[in-house]
Structure 1
Amino acid sequence: MTEPPADSPLVDTHFHLYTRDMPIQAWAWHHPPEDATAEQFIATMDTHGVGFGVVAAASLYGQYNDYVIRCLRRNPRLRGTAYLRPDTDMYTMERLKADGIVGIRLFFRRVPDPPDLDAAEYRVLLRRVRDLDWHVHTLASGDALAGVIAAIEGAGVKLVIDHFGKPDDALGVNCPGFRALLAAVERGRTWVKMSGGFRMATPDHARAYARALLEVSGGERLMWGSDWPFAAFEDKVTYARTIADFHDWVPDAAQRRLIGGDTPMRLYFGA
């Protein structure tokens, strides 16, 4: 692998932190082969010139947010999302915000009990998210994404979707969920992470999704994430490659500064 580009992103908006001795879900789709600690990640950021990071709550560990929260308390360069029960009270959420949590993650893929956003307890949770000026961070299968977007928008909550919305690669940019994602970006309350390109069927698929997003947004409301430590691809992907992919997807330097720095600093760090 060649050296990473000189102008690395300022903010990595999607990575995971965990240790193998944490309680893992019985239905976990992946069992990490080694720890992914905050110290390891910060060293990786420093090596590649990345200044700040946003931890994505990992479905593998369910509501065990403890390790991530302690990492946020020790590292002001980090923010994160948490996976919360829908009946989590206001006082707990306010404390989490003080600790560096900036949103909740809702899982609709690879989980046995996806949220029912029409249920009363989720309507209350979304209102609390709105009151805290947090966002919902999620990923849903292509055919379900439009409904998730509609429910979150209807609650008046900011929405962040990772991995380009993970379209059905057989349909590509014509996947109904991806078309709904593009329309949501244009409406101005949805952000999309350009991340997980290595999870797409081919590099050309990721390039096509990036091109479509750039066409509708001009780079606004887009962000970049590495997806470190590359769950299920640990021995196939490097951090340098994910930065190189970002440069491939976004050849314009001004747009890269917006996507890799200005937008995530405003959304996550209030800068």
Structure 2
Amino acid sequence: MQASPRIGMQKPDAPLVDTHVHVFRRGMPLLPNPRHNPDYEFTAEQLETTLDEHGVKFCVIAAASPWGDCNDYVVQSLRTRPLWRGTVILEPTVGRHELDQLARDGIVGVRLPFISAKELPDLGTFEWRRFLWRLADLDWHVHLHLDGPRIPQVLPHLERSGVKIVIDHIGRPDPVLRERSEGFEAMARSVEAGRTWVKLSGGYRLGDHSAELARELCRRVGYERMLWASDCPFVGAETTTYQSTVDWIHEAVPDAAMRRVLGLNAIDLYFRGARPAA
């Protein structure tokens, strides 16, 4: 890979890694009845500019559900940017040779956008068990995006498969029960079991108590498997600013040393342990 011209010095108090951003172009084919239907584009170049403005050096592109398994632009964006990684959306019937090529292109996981599904897939079928086994064999992770009340239906299957698990947006717990909900409890237990990470992200989608939720999760399970993400460009909530998501993580994790731990966790998970100098 050629080095990107944006590689520079990390700003001291900037997040080290943004673990959840999106890129997309106008004209990309949308799924029927997509959850979101953006009327604009957010290119890799625009993302580079945004990250540079906020001093963020590393990022992970999350495949976005409106475009299904049309992963072309995500993969293209990674090929010349060694400080970027990505996830893709795939059908469980995908072959191992395609997974191997995606790994060479900088893909490190598969996003499961189950939040859009009226009925959850049966992860006990041979196709899904084979798929998850292949992902575990590649040392990839599954990136679960699901509403909190349904998370307990999915986590046991993922845990049994042996694959690493990353849960989006603090698990999107029940907005009334919050940290007392079954989904939040299941997520915390899964983190404690040792192969699950959680993105402290999406606070602007979770209401006024989102920072409290993040603090409570960290209080219960520690910081070693926590990650930070902006969710830029905030599809469906475009009035959100990048700086507001940085400010939010300062509120949720006020200790600067622990915020650095979030970044180092992400380096270890997504970049194969290639930690920067202290």
Scaled by the length of structure 1, the TM-score of the pair is: 0.94
Q: Count residues in correspondence.
A: 263
Which whole-Å CA distance do the structure 2 matches of 1:249 and 1:208 have between them?
A: 7
Contact 1:18 1:35 in 2 (8 A): yes
Offset of residue 140 of structure 1: 1.7
Which whole-Å CA distance do the structure 2 matches of 1:140 and 1:62 have between them?
A: 16
Contact 1:17 1:37 in 2 (8 A): yes
- The one-letter code matched in structure 2 to 1:74 is T
Contact 1:27 1:111 in 2 (8 A): no
SS in 1 for 2:134: helix
Q: 1:94-126, CA deviations, whole angstroms, 9 ceiling, x for partnerless residues?
A: 000000000011121123564321111000000
Partner of 1:232: 236
Which whole-Å CA distance do the structure 2 matches of 1:117 and 1:27 have between them?
A: 24
Which whole-Å CA distance do the structure 1 matches of 2:39 and 2:200 have between them?
A: 25
Partner of 1:262: 264
Please tell me whether residue 42 in structure 1 is matched to residue 48 in structure 2: yes
In 2 relative to 1, CA 222–109 (structure 1 residues): closer, same or farther, beyond 3 Å?
same
Which whole-Å CA distance do the structure 2 matches of 1:247 and 1:143 have between them?
A: 28
* Off by >2 Å, runs of 4+ in structure 1: 111-115
The answer to which structure, 1 or 2, has the higher relative contact order (CA under 8 A, 6+ apart) is 1
Matches within 5 A, 1:194-205: 194-202=200-208, 205=209
Contact 1:106 1:115 in 2 (8 A): no
Please tell me whether residue 178 in structure 1 is matched to residue 184 in structure 2: yes
Identify the match of residue 73 of structure 1 among 70, 79, 95. Answer: 79
Q: Gapped runs of 5+ residues in structure 2?
A: 1-10
Which whole-Å CA distance do the structure 1 matches of 2:130 and 2:215 have between them?
A: 37
Q: Gapped runs of 5+ residues in structure 1?
A: none
Partner of 1:213: 217
Which whole-Å CA distance do the structure 2 matches of 1:123 and 1:185 have between them?
A: 21
Overall identity of the aligned pairs, in %:
46
Which whole-Å CA distance do the structure 1 matches of 2:111 and 2:171 have between them?
A: 14
- The one-letter code matched in structure 2 to 1:243 is V
SS in 1 for 2:73: helix
Partner of 1:30: 36
Partner of 2:252: 249
Which whole-Å CA distance do the structure 1 matches of 2:142 and 2:127 have between them?
A: 15
Partner of 1:91: 97
Please tell me whether residue 12 in structure 1 is matched to residue 18 in structure 2: yes
Q: 1:172-226, CA deviations, whole angstroms, 9 ceiling, x for partnerless residues?
A: 1111101110111111110000110000122xx2122111111123211000000
SS in 2 for 1:64: coil
In 2 relative to 1, CA 68–113 (structure 1 residues): closer, same or farther, beyond 3 Å?
farther
Scaled by the length of structure 2, the TM-score of the pair is: 0.92
SS in 1 for 2:99: helix
